[in-house]
Amino acid sequence: MSVKYENPLCKRYASSEMQFIFSDDNKFSTWRRLWIALAESQKELGLDITQNQIDEMICNAKNINYEAANKYEAEVRHDVMAHILAYGEQCPAAKPIIHLGATSCYVGDNTDIILMRSAMLLI
């Protein structure tokens, strides 16, 4: 994937900072930050989630395996599910709790809002 958002208009009109904000790397690492926040909140509320599972997620938060995600997306035809499965490969202890109780909108919509806020702050 890429650390820059790719679009024909980017080279002409978008700064490198703005391209990073909307890049795949930033988008998918934001998904992972949201999954970590979800697990931490659920643990705090008493769900059976260990600190070891959360630590494993944190250690792999920026280590996105795009090859695995692409493989899973070809199979399941769902981008969020593909990334859940790829993250679960990297975090076997945390696999059962990644995205627990959430919908695709949890990561999709919240990431959109976070990225738009970052872009507005840049402007």
pLDDT of residue 26: 96
pLDDT of residue 95: 98
Per-block mean pLDDT, blocks of 10 residues, the chain (123 long): 62 84 95 99 98 98 97 97 98 98 98 98 95
Q: Would you say domain 31-122 falls under CATH 3.40.50.2000?
A: no
Helices 79-90 + 104-122 axis angle, to 10: 90
Residue ranges of the domains in the chain? 31-122
Q: Quick one: how many helices (H) and strands (E) in the chain?
A: 7, 0
pLDDT of residue 6: 64
Is the pTM higher than 0.85? The answer reads yes
pLDDT of residue 13: 78
pLDDT of residue 7: 66
91 closest CA partner among 52, 61, 56 = 56
